[in-house]
Amino acid sequence: MIKSNLIYKYVLSLLLVLMVFLPLVVKSSFVLEILVRILLFAFIGTAWNLLGGYAKQLSLGHSAFFGLGAYTSTLLQIDLGISPWIGMVVGGGVGLLASLPIGWLCFRLKGPYFTISTIATANVLMLIFLKFRDLAWGAEGTTIPNLGNAPLMMQFDNKVPYYYILLGLLIIALTITAWIERSRMGYYLIALGEDEDAAEASGVDVVKVKRNIYMISAFLTALAGTFYTQYIYFIDPQTAFNFNVSIEAALVSIVGGIGTLWGPVIGTVLLETTTILLQSYLGNSIGGIQLTVYSLILMAVILVRPTGIVGYFKEKSQARSST
């Protein structure tokens, strides 16, 4: 046990060093683009996993917070000239606050009904930003004024700083997750995800624990929204509240292993590399073939390893200790 803990620490430090020095070696902006995508979705997946994985509250509406974060920082930047660095934290706060009424409504429902209600809330938010043109540019959205290399306004003339921002965010999210996993809250999350009645009878305030984890998850997801808008210099309701963000957040966690620390990271690496490989090998043949193959691979993974990659190894080690 102690030995495997030590190995884990070595591997982790090695991985960290590797990730920190990677941009010094990798110069291709295509590869950096891929790395940024991987880090972005690993981060969103990790945020989603707190609620969807540990507490098994399958939200497919996390784009609500992604979009709120994106719009908050952009509005602050364009209307008031406030730096997106501050806007990012404020956006996180807006996401966190928004999770309270959304959770108050959606947590009344269980299982698939909860999931549907989260999709609906994200859609309602998108429609609000789409229809109320005075609020924020309506359907056509807006571009972020390009200031060249302006680190204080979260703008850079190459991709490397973006990479480091995301790496930092991911490390924060993973640290929070690791801490929660070991604390009382982690046990409570898994317990209520398994059986709410039994959790209540064991002294777990199910309503409060769900609310708290939803706030943390929403806060982190909103940070990603700000980042993404700054990264692509553009915002409109369709990209900010994109359903694909919600799907991807859930998907990377499910494939990697929901309710595990490294599940979303491993899931993202696998899914993103698969997407890219398929695109480069099959992209020029029949249109849409790469998406078909991608979906088939996805189905196969879910069928063969329903608990995800990390979940599978966890079960194996559990089975070993039970015999």
Rounded to a whole number of angstroms, the minimum distance from the CB of residue 308 to other proteins is 13
Overall residue count recorded for the chain in this entry: 323
194 scored as a contact of other proteins (CB under 8 A):
yes
With binding defined as CB under 8 A, does residue 108 bind other proteins?
no
| CB-CB contact of 309 with 261 (8 Å) | no
**Is residue 81 near other proteins by the rule CB under 8 A?**
no
Q: By CB under 8 A, tell whether 112 contacts other proteins.
A: no
176 touching other proteins, by CB under 8 A:
no
Which three-class secondary structure state does DSSP give residue 323?
A: coil
Q: How far is the CB of 256 from other proteins (least distance, A)?
A: 16
Q: Is 66 in the site for other proteins (CB under 8 A)?
A: no
Considering only the stretches 5-13, 185-193, 232-240, 289-297, report the one whose residues sit in contact with other proteins under the rule CB under 8 A: 185-193
Which one of residues 146, 158, 183, 244 is an interface residue with other proteins (CB under 8 A)? Answer: 183
Q: Pick from 182, 295, 306, 312: which binds other proteins (CB under 8 A)?
A: 182
How open is the CA angle 130-133-134, to the nearest 5 degrees?
140
Sign of CA dihedral 61, 62, 68, 74: negative
CA nearest to 64, candidates 7, 106, 18, 16: 106
- Contact present, 90 and 75 (Cβ < 8 Å): no
Does 318 help bind other proteins (rule: CB under 8 A)? yes
DSSP-assigned states of every residue in 96-122: HHHHHHHHHHHTTS-HHHHHHHHHHHH
Residue 164 or 187 with smaller CB distance to other proteins: 187
Give me the least distance between CB of 179 and other proteins, in Å please: 11
Instruction: Pick the closer one to other proteins by CB: 285 or 323.
Output: 323
166 lies in the binding site for other proteins (CB under 8 A): no
In the complex, minimum distance from the CB of residue 234 to other proteins, in angstroms, rounded to a whole number: 42
Which window, 23-31, 61-69, 102-110, 177-185, contacts other proteins (CB under 8 A)? Answer: 177-185
Query: Is 190 near other proteins (CB under 8 A)?
Result: yes
Nearer to other proteins, 157 or 195 (CB): 195
Judged by beta carbon, residue 269 or residue 302, the one nearer other proteins is: 302
What is the number of alpha carbons within 13 Å of residue 268 lying toward its C-beta? 25
CB burial string 171-197: b at 16+ within 10 A, e below: eebbebbeebbeeebbbbbbbbbeebe
Q: How far apart are CA 48 and CA 78, in angstroms?
A: 29
Question: What are the φ/ψ torsions at residue 142 (nearest 5 degrees)?
Answer: -155, 155
Q: Indicate whether 157 belongs to the interface with other proteins (CB under 8 A).
A: no
Which is nearer to other proteins, 193 or 225 (by Cβ)?
A: 193
How many Cβ atoms are within 10 Å of 200's Cβ, its own excluded?
Answer: 14
Residues of this chain, 198-257, that bind other proteins according to CB under 8 A: 198-206
Residue 235, phi then psi, degrees to nearest 5 = -145, 135
Residues forming contacts to other proteins in the complex (CB under 8 A) are 182-184, 187-188, 190-191, 194-195, 197-206, 259, 315, 318-319, 321-322
